[in-house]
Amino acid sequence: MTLIDGKATAATIKSEIAARVASIVEGGGKRPHLAAVLVGHDGGSETYVKNKVLACKACGFESTLIRFEDDVTEDKLLDCVAELNADDCIDGFIVQLPLPKHINEQRVIEAIDFRKDVDGFHPVNVGRMAIGLPCFISATPLGILELLRRYNVATSGKRCVVLGRSNIVGKPMASLMLQKQYGDATVTVLHSHSQDLKQECRKADILIAAIGSPSFVTADMVKPGAVVIDVGTTRVPDSSRERGFRLSGDVDFDAVKDIASAITPVPGGVGPMTICMLMLNTLAAAEKKFYA
Ligand code: GUN
């Protein structure tokens, strides 16, 4: 069994990005600059954003963190988005999700200039991704593609099962695995209302679990030799940990690791790659790779 090490792969890619940034700056160019907008104090979001700021440092980027309290109005948040859209110093920015219930998340996403939408959540980027045009691709699916590529996992013509249909992971992942220029696989998407879910999972050569349910994928759902990618990061209470919780993947790792030919751990698998791909998207934004 091959352990697909996202942490090590992300470190390699970040040093590749840092080298590129050094050469841009040496040539008189501007350091890429990512801004992150964080609303409230959700523990998971705080951690993600903190790690994004640290990753910026590792890559030689400038970063700006803009914070609002939970009770910020939608108008105030939209004003902030408009300012970031207009600010030439900022190459790309993200609004960390989820947002409080009184804010229309979709309205905020659509207010972001798609040329600065390094999360790849704006409908222009989602649409362009779906038809294979150059664009910002959302970081988690992009990170998974990169892991498969760097670990030489053959995908063309293989059966790929995506568990979960979220806008951030499941849907774009399925779309990318389907496309000839990316996965070129035969793709099945399964979700909470799918029939024969276990049997369908067992047909997968590549199983990508993104349903947010701890240890959902058990040994009997995995074909011997399958490649298993675990996107889950649910916080499970654990009094033996200093933080009071541990991160649990969607896959029962201990049971599945002896059946799979390759598997990502949690933590240290997909998570570090997601942040790393956000850095790559920010570099692309700074270099005007997709849009002038
Ligand atoms: N919340 C969970 N994942 C993400 C992400 O990739 N981007 C943003 N903006 N919010 C998230």
Upper half-sphere CA count for residue 195 (Cβ side, 13 Å): 0
Q: Cα dist. 194→163, 189, 199, 291 in Å? A: 10, 9, 11, 39
Upper half-sphere CA count for residue 124 (Cβ side, 13 Å): 15
Which mutation among 103, 112, 168, 234 tests ligand 1's pocket best, with the greatest number of atoms within 8 A of CB? 168
Query: Average pLDDT, whole number, for the chain?
Result: 98
What pLDDT does residue 175 have?
98
Q: Is the CB of 231 under 6 A from ligand 1?
A: no
pTM of the model: 0.97
| CA 115 to mean position of chain CA atoms | 18
Q: Cα dist. 258→201, 219, 226, 253, 288 in Å? A: 17, 9, 11, 9, 44
Upper half-sphere CA count for residue 101 (Cβ side, 13 Å): 0
Which mutation among 94, 125, 140, 278 tests ligand 1's pocket best, with the greatest number of atoms within 8 A of CB? 94
What pLDDT does residue 214 have?
98
Q: Is the CB of 139 under 6 A from ligand 1?
A: yes
Catalytic-labelled residue, pool 14, 96, 171, 230: 96
What pLDDT does residue 62 have?
98
CA dihedral 73, 78, 80, 83 (to 10 degrees): -150
Beta-strand runs (E) in the chain: 2-3, 33-39, 62-68, 92-95, 159-163, 186-190, 206-209, 227-230, 234-237, 245-248, 262-263
Q: Is the CB of 78 under 6 A from ligand 1?
A: no
Residue 33's DSSP bridge partners are 62
Render pLDDT for 23-80 as a digit per residue (tens, 0 to 9).
999 999 999 999 999 999 999 999 999 999 999 999 999 999 999 999 999 999 999 9
- Tokens linked to 252: 């029962």
Cα 28 to ligand 1 centre (Å):
32
Q: How many Cβ atoms are within 10 Å of 79's Cβ, its own excluded?
A: 12
Amino acid at site 274: T
Catalytic-labelled residue, pool 5, 91, 119, 252: 119
What pLDDT does residue 60 have?
98
What pLDDT does residue 71 have?
98
The average pLDDT across 278-283 equals: 98
The average pLDDT across 194-223 equals: 98
Cα 224 to ligand 1 centre (Å):
33
Q: Is the CB of 34 under 6 A from ligand 1?
A: no
What pLDDT does residue 218 have?
98
What pLDDT does residue 281 have?
98
Q: Is the CB of 178 under 6 A from ligand 1?
A: no
What pLDDT does residue 171 have?
98
Tell me the torsion sign for CA atoms 268, 284, 169, 175: negative
Residue nearest to atom 1 of ligand 1 (CA): 97
Q: Is the CB of 58 under 6 A from ligand 1?
A: no
Contact by Cβ (8 Å): 267, 234: no
What pLDDT does residue 102 have?
98
Those residues whose C-beta lies under 8 Å from the C-beta of residue 78, and which sit 6 or more positions away, are 107, 108, 111
From the list 110, 78, 63, 23, the residue with the least C-alpha distance to 282 is 63
119 is catalytic: yes
Render pLDDT for 108-132 as a digit per residue (tens, 0 to 9).
999 999 999 999 999 999 999 999 9
- Tokens linked to 60: 């030689």
Report the C-alpha gap between 138 and 258 in whole angstroms: 31
Report the C-alpha gap between 201 and 188 in whole angstroms: 9
Q: How confident is the model at residue 255 (pLDDT cuts 50, 70, 90)?
A: very high
Residue nearest to atom 8 of ligand 1 (CA): 96
